[in-house]
Structure 1
Amino acid sequence: MQYLLDTNICIFFLRGKLDLDRVIREKGRENCFISEITVVELRFGAENSNHPFKSHEAVDNFLAGISIIPIYSCINLYAKEKVRLRRLGTPINDEFDLLIGVTAIENKLILVTDNTTDFQRLEKIQIENWFNR
């Protein structure tokens, strides 16, 4: 099985709330990916933090060990899902979440997220939550 890690899972790891290193070792590093969108969100969070240099360094270390998936191949599915959800009256208002979700679908990856409510509206998405409260 292969996985796309949502931004919130990466943030839990960076904040020490999830032993993601262990889980990734168990699942296989070659089976875990993130979207370019997650990189954007992590960089914004680092820049917006109280200690940007230290936060960017932590993001750099995290990114050094994980494969990043581009979003270009997902654009058509993004448009279809956005229109479908809008017509149903259940849009996903966070554009980044929608892009991450369709990236998982298009690349046949299981989305790992703590935000199952929004993502479950996407057709053909597979979801797991590795974060236990």
Structure 2
Amino acid sequence: MRYFHTYVLMGPQAAQIPRGIEDMAKPDLALPLSELEDYGTRLRDIKQRMNHTKKLFESYRDDIGDGGVYDKLEEFESNWEDGREDINQQLDALASMSDAVVREFKKLDDDLAKKARDSVKTKEKGGGGKGGGDK
């Protein structure tokens, strides 16, 4: 499971971080990216299933028998349609936000990994820290 931590990178970049740094502090934020990666897709699936109820009811029309039952299902579908557009918009917005959160945290994770690698390289060359690098 990939987690984003504000102090340690937990993706593929974690292997490039010097040993021991992950034990230096507790995270301010831990975000399970692997769970969030699928969240937008799951919300879109819910929307699709929600919008499929009319076709589902129609597919059982002949199996139901009593026309009154189908009429009630049709009435439910008609009433359900009133609030469905608002729910659709909210599901779309949540899915987009979820995708954006994952994308931005991955970008931040990559940026932090690059900075950590660059910092280690600089210190190894004697260019970082106190009194070094100005030769």
TM-score range, shorter chain: under 0.3
Structure showing greater Rg = 2
The TM-score normalised by the length of structure 2 is 0.24
Where is the helix percentage greater, Structure 1 or Structure 2? Answer: 2
